[in-house]
Each structure stands twice: as structure tokens, then as C-alpha cells.
């Protein structure tokens, strides 16, 4: 039996008039869909460390605080069908975080060098996220 890839995903919330979720789109690759920061846990790394690292690598945002673990999802990768175990976290960031910016991904993952257009969207979402990443949004605590 194939072991699942261990991953984390981040619901980064900014509170203004309404709660807003940090999302990104791949610059020049609209078919990838709108996503949240997510990725693999490195050897020796705890899930909380991994989710903060993934947010920083994929968005350039360092001013985040892990609030809580939301859920563990066991859905396989949508294309390859390889098993994955993704732990979803809620993180908060300050209300003065910019509305939108572009970030070139750093780190050593498969997305190294890609450019992401980051921005906040009001909750509840008007459109679903790629790879059903929005499945646990209704489990966010206030």
C-alpha cells in the first residue's frame, strides 16, 4: 500500500468589515484555479511549522499566527490519484496586510520560481477553490 504524502493547507484570515481569506492565482496559468497556500511537510518538521513555512514561501507573507487545526483531509491528488493526508489550519494576519500583491515562490518545492498573484476574498466565497480546498471553510471558528 502506498504511503500518503503528508501535507498542510492554510486558511489565512484577515478581519476587516467581514472576514477575508488569502488566496492566490498562478500568473499565466489560469487553468490552475484559485488556491490557498498548501504543500508538503518536510522531514523533521512539525505541521504548524510547515504551514507557516508554506504561507511564507508561496505568498511572501510572514506576519501570520497559527490559530488552530481545522481538519485532516484524506483525498487523493486530483490528477495522479496518489494518496495524500492534508491537515488544514486557520491562521490569522493583521488588518493592515495589503489587499493584493505578486510573489515569486521561493523554497525547494515543485512550485519554486512560479509567480502567484495573492489577494484577499470576502467570506463566504462566491466561487469554489481549486482541488476542493474550500471544503473545510465552514469549520472556521470565529
- Which pLDDT does position 142 carry in this prediction? 58
How far is it, in rounded angstroms, from Cα 96 to Cα 41?
A: 29
Q: Give 127: exposed, middle or buried? Use CB within 10 Å, 0-12, 13-18, 19+.
A: exposed
- The pLDDT score that the predictor gives to residue 67 is 97
What DSSP character marks residue 48?
H
Question: For the whole model, what pTM was predicted?
Answer: 0.94
Rounded to whole angstroms, the Cα distance separating 106 from 83 reads: 25
Distance CA 16, CA 61 (A): 18
Averaged over 82-90, what is the pLDDT? 96
Does residue 113 carry a pLDDT above 90? no
Q: pLDDT digits over 59-68, tens only?
A: 999 999 999 9
The continuous run of DSSP H or E covering 49 comes out as helix 47-59
CATH number (3.90.79.10, 1.10.1760.20, 1.20.1050.10, 3.90.1150.10) of 5-139 reads 3.90.79.10
Give the residue extent of every domain in the chain.
Answer: 5-139
Tens-digit pLDDT profile for residues 20-62 = 999 999 999 999 999 999 999 999 999 999 999 999 999 999 9
Report the C-alpha gap between 96 and 106 in whole angstroms. Answer: 24
d(CA 132, CA 136) in angstroms, rounded, equals 9
3-state helix vs strand vs coil in the chain, percent to 5: 15, 40, 45
Residue whose grid cell is 504548524: 48
Amino acid at each position: 500500500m502506498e504511503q500518503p504524502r503528508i501535507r498542510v493547507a492554510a486558511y489565512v484570515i484577515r478581519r476587516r468589515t467581514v472576514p477575508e481569506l488569502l488566496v492566490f492565482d498562478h500568473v499565466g496559468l489560469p487553468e490552475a484555479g484559485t488556491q490557498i497556500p498548501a504543500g508538503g511537510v518536510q522531514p523533521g518538521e512539525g505541521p504548524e511549522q510547515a504551514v507557516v513555512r508554506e504561507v511564507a514561501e508561496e505568498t511572501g507573507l510572514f506576519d501570520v499566527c497559527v490559530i488552530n487545526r481545522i481538519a485532516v483531509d484524506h483525498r487523493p491528488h486530483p490528477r495522479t490519484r496518489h494518496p495524500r493526508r492534508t491537515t488544514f489550519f486557520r491562521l490569522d494576519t493583521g488588518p493592515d496586510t495589503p489587499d493584493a500583491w505578486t510573489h515569486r515562490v521561493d523554497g525547494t518545492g515543485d512550485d519554486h520560481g512560479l509567480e502567484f498573484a495573492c489577494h484577499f476574498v470576502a467570506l463566504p466565497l462566491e466561487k469554489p477553490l481549486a482541488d476542493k480546498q474550500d471544503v473545510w471553510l465552514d469549520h472556521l471558528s470565529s
